[in-house]
Amino acid sequence: MEVVDEFTLHHRLTQTPGISLVLFTSPTCGTCRSVERLLPAAVPSDVRLFRVDVQQAIGLARAYEVFHLPALFLFRDGHYHARLDCEVTPATLGRAIDAALAAPAQDEP
């Protein structure tokens, strides 16, 4: 999982074709650590994973209106699609990604 911040997130996403998930997390959040461990096995191998440490990227967390951790955001070809609020299991996350991608892309927060 590649670590990004407010200076690198958009640049990395625009350089990454296909589906990307961005996990907003904190090292002091136990649930975040669990999700971070589960996420690689819960997504298809072609999905790129990025991690934002909100303690290091407070401005980015504010821009995406992250008030509760962990938070997952879906992008395709560098374009924002949706915030995903679901369990991090292969079946549940897969359905949430498919549903979000079937809908039109949303405006970035």
Evaluate whether 4 touches 22 at the Cβ level (below 8 Å): yes
Q: What domains sit in the chain, N to C, each tagged with a CATH number?
A: 2-102 (3.40.30.10)
Confidence band for 98, pLDDT divided at 50, 70 and 90 = very high
Which pTM value belongs to this model? 0.92
User: Rounded to whole angstroms, how far apart are CA atoms 32 and 10?
Assistant: 22
The predicted model gives 74-100 an average pLDDT of: 92
Report the SS3 class of residue 29.
Answer: coil
User: Rounded to whole angstroms, how far apart are CA atoms 54 and 17?
Assistant: 25
